[in-house]
Amino acid sequence: MSGETAVNTPGQSSSSLDARIAEVSKPQPTPHSSISDEIPGLVGVTSSEYERYERKVVVEKVDYEEFIIDPLEMEYSPPAAPENWTPFTHPEGSVYFQNKELATYPILTDVYVYETSAREELEDYINKILTYINQHEVQLPQGDICLVLEFRKSENCGYYFVNHARRCLFWLAEFDAIDFLAAVKVHYEPSHVAHEMEALYWLHNEYFPSPDIHPMPHKVVTELEDILHHAIGDALTSSSPTMPYPIDVLQQMLALTNSVRQTNQQDRGLGPGSTSMMYRFLHNFHHEYFLHLHGQKTARLDRDQPVHPTYKRTFLMTIFSPLLFYGPEIHSKTLQKTAVDFTVRKADWDAVMAQLTDGWKQLNIYATVMLAANVAFLAIPGIEGMDDASPPGSCSWQQSISYLSTMDSLGSIILGLLLVQLHNTTLKAS
């Protein structure tokens, strides 16, 4: 106990006294204001909120009359990066940067630091964060961590830290995680939240996949292969597997993973294209683990197994469904099986839309036949005189019904064609 001598009192054991003294002398956290209060504009974000794909930079079109290349010119390197900043190019094409000098851990960003004003603003945020950490004696985890920052469309600066050893994100202040947990409406256990946190960790690695920043451990490929082996086996032997992909896609994912493993074993070095795909697969699977409460008491074992109370028939459904030949009830049951606990798999939704589109095509055929029959009926000579009670020149009741049927058939054809066109386009786009 830092130079002090403990004295036992009567009726008090040495061990209990030591425990009490240790508890009293334990360093207590010093209350301080939130980092967002001390650094205006700084906000905590997650990798799923990262706005790389929302930025969509637009440039004016430039028309060159000519673009001259000098004789013997063979140097086409990117511009020299600012001091202490190292540029990387994502396999999809975006540019991001790393700085290993400003702090004792790497700093990652896709702020375009070639622009002086953007770089100076970013480095100002970094210095303020480091000052906050030093002033408040924030004890960051030891080991492999990094800081990620981005300029957001809201004109704030988003940040998060990454702990590679624990496969998680963390922040320097309280962080409201409901935005990325709200897809599952249960009492959250730490072991359950861990799946989504790991999914966010893999998503971060997908955004910054260069092995020069963080090499992908060999065991990661082994873990992914094990996940895919089980997913394929489950798809082969179960009618309602929980994994989000059909078996042919899973087999292609496994083939790609095996190819990456072979490259890794041959010590040829994995590039960012290989690692980014492995990270994307892991992000998707761990997100599925979170959605299906993997490892929890209420884990969803089948795709169509709800963990919340099931839907009850409403009064309106009970009244109107028989009048509509139980069509609404059939569609309601289909949607309930597709959107279990409001979670929809893309493959299931595509199957439902394909089934509906086929149904609309069939109805169009029936409507076309009815339209032709009505037109033929109205073309029969003397059809006006079929009703003796009708005055001359007026429509008989048979004609009126046929005209009404013609309009209904024409409306059904137009509506059916519009629905088929719209949802066929949606299916192709997805």
252-301 pLDDT, tens digit per residue, is: 999 999 999 988 877 667 899 999 999 999 999 999 999 999 999 999 99
Residue 19: predicted pLDDT:
39
What is the 8-class DSSP label of residue 270? Answer: -
CA atoms within 13 A on the CB side of 27: 6
**209 within 8 A of 90, measured Cβ to Cβ:** yes
What is the 8-class DSSP label of residue 150? Answer: E
Q: Which of 98, 187, 199 is nearest to 147 (CA)?
A: 98
Residue 18: predicted pLDDT:
44
Phi (first) and psi of residue 63, to 5 degrees: -105, 115
CA atoms within 13 A on the CB side of 361: 11
Give the list of residues 6+ apart from residue 365 with CB closer than 8 angstroms, or none.
Answer: none
Looking only at the bridges linking them, the beta strands covering 42-44 and 157-163 are parallel
Domain range annotation of the chain: 33-56+79-174, 176-308, 345-429
What is the 3-class SS of 309-352, one letter each residue?
CCCCCCHHHHHHHHHCCCHHHHHHHHHHHHEECCEECHHHHHHH
Residue 125: predicted pLDDT:
98
Q: Which of 142, 183, 186 is nearest to 164 (CA)?
A: 142
Phi (first) and psi of residue 58, to 5 degrees: -110, 135
Q: Which of 108, 109, 164, 110 is nearest to 141 (CA)?
A: 164
**81 within 8 A of 113, measured Cβ to Cβ:** yes
Q: Which residues of the chain have pLDDT under 70?
A: 1-33, 267-268, 382-394, 425-430
Please state, in angstroms and rounded to a whole number, the distance separating the CA atoms of residues 101 and 359: 63
With 0-12 / 13-18 / 19 or more C-beta atoms within 10 angstroms meaning exposed / middle / buried, residue 423 is middle
Residue 376: predicted pLDDT:
87
Give the list of residues 6+ apart from residue 90 with CB closer than 8 angstroms, or none.
Answer: 96, 207, 208, 209, 272, 276
Q: Which of 292, 282, 287, 167 is nearest to 228 (CA)?
A: 282
- The residues that bridge with 107 in the sheet, in sequence order, are 99, 147
Please state, in angstroms and rounded to a whole number, the distance separating the CA atoms of residues 36 and 318: 53
**Which amino acid, 102?**
L
Q: Which of 333, 254, 340, 330 is nearest to 291 (CA)?
A: 340
Phi (first) and psi of residue 86, to 5 degrees: -115, 120
Stated length of the chain: 430
The pTM for the full model equals: 0.80
**354 within 8 A of 427, measured Cβ to Cβ:** yes
Residue 21: predicted pLDDT:
32
CA atoms within 13 A on the CB side of 143: 7
Tally Cβ neighbours within 10 Å of residue 411: 11
Residue 389: predicted pLDDT:
56
